[in-house]
Structure formats: structure tokens, C-alpha cells
Structure 1
Amino acid sequence: MGTDKRTIAVRFFGGAGNYANVLERCFTYVLTDNPDEAALFEWVKSNTRATSDDGIRDRLRFLEAIGLLTVDEDRVALTERGIEWMADTEPKLLFDALAENVRGFETALEALLDEPKTDAELGAAIADEHPETGWSDPSGPAQHRGWLQSLGYVERSDGTNSLTDSGRDLARRLASDGPALERGKSYTQQELEAAFGTSFGSYIKGISPRTDDDGALSYVIVKAREDGPYGDDLEGDRFTYIGEGVPSKGDQSPTGANTALLEQAEGSTVPVYFFYQPADSSELRYEGLVAVVDARYVFDDDHNRMVYQFTMERLELDHPAEFETIAASVTDGGAASIETADGEESEPALTDDETEFTETQRRVRSGAFASRVKSAYNARCAICGTSRESPAGTVDIEAAHIYPKRDDGRDIVQNGLALCRLHHWAFDAGWLAVSDDYRILVADRPDLEGYEEFSRLEGEELTLPTTDERRPHATFLAAHRGLHGFEPAAER
């Protein structure tokens, strides 16, 4: 549609924020009664506040222009796209119809990613992005905002517009540079280079880490070949993948490619795209995004060598921006406490039980939580200060929830501790707890084996992150003590 796009949307009936609801009722009438133009005009007048035939005609012509409706004097009908939207009234379908035919809808959402804006500020952002339109009509941004409100992407308060959760998710997807790939579809290397905006050289390697302009890891491409030398087991939602290094070169080593997947096994930070190449094809079939959930350095009996064995899990995500949005929802937790009207801080919520997370969301959030917590503690145990590496090259440091995940404990850094495997177990089992002044408490059980070892830690200070907002919050520490029967720190 390109240069033929409209510059201003036309509002519908029902008032800003209610266009989609009235449109659904109107389309239901069209589907069930097969009206002619005159009959539809009468329905609109009877079901809305519309009185002007010209006003009704303008709105119906707009629906025609964005491909949802056809209006003839003798018959009004929904297009295939209109019927598709009516099938489940998915907001994104209606948004696509608007964005493909009217300039500025994507710009409006992306502008709101920065901060809430008034209609005038939205108009300025759209005019700046599309100067060729010469847009100066002050009603324009209100029309755009009204549709975005109706789709549930924008909410308005005191003349200021901000994104809802679903609006923020869509805006991040629009702003993302990630490729739009379709699972199950096969691509040539040239097509993938165009989609990713990069060159892979003479061929795409089995593991291809890609960095941004600053040298930071941006994403990883993983390819499995049907006739490959590693014997990857790719069945089911969880499968194993053998790292980089052909059998003729002996034991696999921590190359940049293997290290990139090792880092993802310790905590997901970037999208990992998985492709499969059949033996009889040069094209790669896109299998979707995956999470690296485990990494081991194991002996390969078939080739008499050590190899990296990665366990991967398929993620039900259609776009990398969805991964980025979910990962970004795991924060340090600096905003966990809310200041009340009298200037005091209220206690943060212990759980995320008001939110229903899918298994994929839980997987991505868990990986992001692990990465952020380990980073906050420089990959060292907060209790003993150690940082050991396994033969695979993974660090023996785990991200522990203070208020436990099994009880819906929150995925924020303030509810986390980086701990070695032994002290993670001891903390979860109730041998150890932490006082509000970050000193180690030990369960008073001298009758049990292990007490002598742990009792040496009594009163020792934790090794903490350098910034206050990443340190454990007292609310979570107190809740953990309560779960395991520790007395309040002041009474010990």
C-alpha cells in the first residue's frame, strides 16, 4: 500500500475506546441480516447516536478503505478479512488492517514506549516520522488514539495516554529488529540473511552467535542437520543438541559458539532461533525459538571423546519481541515497595499469583531471573563467596528464590540470592536463613548431622550486590524465616 496510505483515520461510533465493540455489533448485524445500504444506515441510527447520513457514509467508506467491508446500494457484506476478525475479534487483526492502510499507528505505539503522551505529543511524533504527509490536523492523533484505546492497547487518564500491557507487548514487537519468521517454513540462506540483516559467510554454522554494534550478544542461531555428525535427538518439545566440534578434532572445546550456549544454559538473555536442514535440501526449516535449559560435558561412546550436550526446550513464541518482553518483565525490584500517602513504604507483594503465566512465560522468566540474580552477585555465592566451574564450563552458582517459587515467589532480583549448590540446598531446606541486617542464621538442630558444618556460618555477613535496589528485600527475608521457623532477628 506504501504511498497510497491514508494520513488520518476515521473514528467509528460509540466514542473513543468503544469503537471495536460497536463495530462487532454492526458486523454481526451484517452477517445475520445481509442488509442493503439503506437498512444498514437505519441500524446505525437505531443503535448509535448517529443522525447524519453523510457521517455514517464516511465511516463505512473508511471500513471499505481498510478492507473490512464492501458497501453497495443493494448489498453490504464483510470481506474475508472482516470475517476473519469477527471469528475471534483478535485486536491484532484489526490493528493490522488499520496500520496497513493508515500512516502513524505503529509510530504512535512506539512513541508511547518511551513515556506517556498527550494527543498533541502523539501527533508531533507521527508528523516527525511521516513529514511527507504534511499532517497538521489536530484531530488526527485523537482518531488514532481512539482506535488504539478500543483495541485495548492504550489507556487514557487526565488527558494523557499510556500503553496497557498488551499495547506494550505489541509496541515492543513493532520496535524490535528481530526477524518475522514463520515456524515450519523453509528459508534459503539468502532469505535468512535478509531477514536478520546480516551475512553468514559461505554457510550458516551449526551454532552462530551474533553480536550487536557494541559487541554484546544479540541472538544465537542453532542449526541441526539431518545428516549431521553429532547425532542430535530432536524429538518432542525437549531435546538434546551436541555442541560445536567435529569428531575428527577430538574433544570439543569451549569455543565462542559453545560458550554462547553455555551462557544461555545459566540464564536466558537473548533469543535462540532453531533451524533444521533436511539431508536433501539446502534450505533451513524454522523450528521456532528455544531455551537452553541444561548443559553438560559428557563422554561420547560412539566417537570416544568429550562433547557438550545441551538440553533445549521449544518455546511457544511467534516473535523474538515476545521473548524480550517476557524477559524484560523480570526486574531488579527497585519498585517493589510502594510509597504510601504518609511517606512510608508498603511491603512488596510476596507472589505473582494474580498473574497466570503460561509454561513458556515461566520458562523465559526463570531464565531471565537466573541471569539477573547471578549478574547482581558477580556469579559468586552470597554465603561462602565461592565460584566454581564445572568441566562443561558452567559456573556452579544458582539463583535461589528467597520466598520460594513453588509458592509463586516473585521473579525479581530483590527476591533472589546467588548461591552455590550446597548452600542453595541448605537455604531451601531450612538449615540457613538471613536476618534483616544480612547476617546468616542457622537452624538450632545440633542433633542432626550437618549442624556442625553449618553452625560455623552463624552471624557471618552475606556478600551483597553493590546497589541497594538489587539487595534482598526484608519482606522476602522475613517470609523465608517464617516458613522455616526461625525467630525474628531481634529475638535471637
Structure 2
Amino acid sequence: MVKLVLLHKADSIYEDEPDVVYDFPRSYLKAVEEAVGDWVVYYEPVKAGPRGYFGVAKISRVIPKPGVEGRFLALIEPGSFLPFDSEVPRLADGRPLEASLTEPDGTPKKGGSVQLAVRRLPEADFARIVNLGLPQELERIEATRYDPQLAELAEGAELFERPVLERLTRRPYREVAFRRKVREAYGYRCAMSGLHLRNGGGRPEVQAAHIRPVERQGSDSVRNGLALSGTLHWMFDRGLISVADDCETILVSRNKVPGDVVGRLLAPDGKLLKPEDPRNAPHPENLRWHRENVFGQVVSGETLDWG
């Protein structure tokens, strides 16, 4: 097995969805097949945007692209994709983060391997990029973010070093990373009420909801998330509310949710608040899955008391 860097452009002719599939030509087939079962880092080229390295995922298998000669699909292992907490710049102190892109004097190479859409990535380079994008102390950073007393207690505390791969697969760490990215994408506002609520200490009250749960093949992509208030998160998970196929109209299970409750909780226009960056907008397929598999379903053994 081998780790890779995969170039991704949102407006490319290749139909990539970083948490689901990577579309590539035959020229990269051997390298991608070698990476099956291993991790890859996604990279946005200079002409496509400013992000640099922006996430990780694991390849589960490679198949020919149906109906397209000479193209292949690398299928991403469900639940493996994780966006970086902070996008990692292409250069650090003027030097590339990949050894293959670096001249002997430390300056960036030009042409050649720099242009490759699929690049082999040494273990040391992989660990360095992931550590910059998903720091070891991310859970502690989040836990002490809005509490000065906890932050003071944490100062000087020894950090338990976890191997990179263990960190990428630990559910508590991934939940923190997902929550931070989703809430940030929506400006800490509830996507269905539009409210921007913070408690006395400045902590945002909005939560991060998975549209398709991880245990049902959902991912930790921001495009599989919605920032929701606690009540609306509860309602969304129980199928009392959803989003229509126009990706903006909020649907309500009217036979289960009283009209006055709707008026108190949802935005007056009944529309979903979208992230400022359209690349973070909910993916239509995730919303479709929620409508077809969760919305309107009977919640067994649970009494809904609206007061």
C-alpha cells in the first residue's frame, strides 16, 4: 500500500466528490491501485483556489468508470473522509511540504511532478501535513475555547501523543473536527432558524448535525452537515423536519409538529440558511437520503410532547 496526494478541482471535468469517489484517467491507475486500503490527502491546485491541502480519506477499491472508456473511480471508504480543521498551505517557510516537489536546495520544483494529479506521498510527509491540518491537541483546543478557567488548567498539561492513524479513526476526535468545521461554515448560526445564539461565556449554542448518520454510511464532510439549534437537531434526527429537493425549502411533518411550534422555531421564509462558501452547501444526495429514509418516519416508543 502507498499513500497519495490527490489533486481536486471543484469545477473539473472529473466527477469527484472527496468523501465518496475520486475520478481519474488510466495513466494514474497503477498508483491508485497501490493505494487501495491506505490514506490519501486532497490538494487544491493554485489555479483552482486557495485551499492547498484540505482533507484526508481512505480508498476502499478501484473500479472502471461506467460508460467512460479510459476513466476509473477510486471509491472512498465510507466514514473515512475528514476535512482539515485548517487548510494546509502549499509551502512552509518557502519550502514544499512534499519531498517530491522540492529541489535539493529546498526551493520548489517547477513543472514535472508538480503537475501530476496523483502523487505518491511518503509517510513522513503524510504525517507532517495531517499534523498541520488536524493538530494533536484539537480536542483540548475545542474544550477550552470558551472557558478561561479550563484553558488555565490545561496550560502545561502533558499532551498524550496519539499516532496519526489512530487520531484519524477515533470517533471522539472526528466528532470535534466535524463540529468545528460545520459550525464555522454556517457562521455559528442555525441553518433553519437563522438565529445566532451564544451563552454567557460566548459559547455557540448551535450544534453540528449529520444529515446522513455515520453509522448509516454518512461522512464527516461539511456537505453532510447542518448547523442546528438543539431542538431543531433533535427534530431533524427524528424525521420531523427535512429539506426539499430544491435544497433550500424546509419540510415539516405537519401531522406530527403543531403549526405554532413551526412558527416559533423556523425562519419566517421557511428557507435553509446556506454557508457563505458554496462548496460547503449540503450535498443534494445527502438531503435526498434524509428525505427518503428519515423524514416522516414513525419514532417508535417516543412520545412527542410540545407543551
TM-score by length of 2: 0.49
Q: Which has the higher contact order (CA 8 A, sep 6+)?
A: 2
Higher CA-based Rg? 1
Task: State the TM-score, normalizing by the size of structure 1.
Answer: 0.32
